[in-house]
Homo-oligomer: A and B are copies of this chain.
Amino acid sequence: MTETAALSTEKLTETLKILHDPTRLLLMKLLIEKEYCVCELVDMFEVSQPAISQHLRKYKKAGLVYEERRGQWRYYRFNETCEQHALVEKILGQLDENDEQLVKLRTKAESITC
């Protein structure tokens, strides 16, 4: 299990602010499991490409994800060494694995090739 970090009020609320949006919460649920490139995420979520990029930028700014360029693609994945690691894991661990939106996303994920 993840160890517990002691976060400041500021850091803690900043992280909750990032995860409180449904799109970003589900995005993080995916990124914590494996890396994705932006175009895969755009195909999975029902929002525009700029919207996805903007969400990812927030994550990156908060130190929650890594970005890696490979060719013309940019891959994003969860930063397991971040200070908020334990918090994020605990929050996402509360999400119902059978949640309709999550299940739908995972189904889409299977059929996507970028």
Residues of chain A at the chain B interface (Cβ within 8 Å): 4-10, 12-13, 16-17, 19-22, 25-26, 86-87, 90-91, 93-102
Q: How far is the CA of A97 from the CA of B4 in the complex (A)?
A: 12
Given the interface pairs A9-B22, A9-B26, A25-B9, the reply to whether A16 lies near B99 with Cβ below 8 Å is no
This chain's copy number in the assembly: 2
- What chain B residues lie within 8 Å of A87 (beta carbons)? 91, 94
Secondary structure of the A side of the interface?
helix
Q: How far is the CA of A23 from the CA of B9 in the complex (A)?
A: 9
- What chain B residues lie within 8 Å of A86 (beta carbons)? 94
* Neighbour of A94 across the interface among B17, B90, B94, B96, CB < 8 A: B90
A95 touches B20 (CB 8 A): no
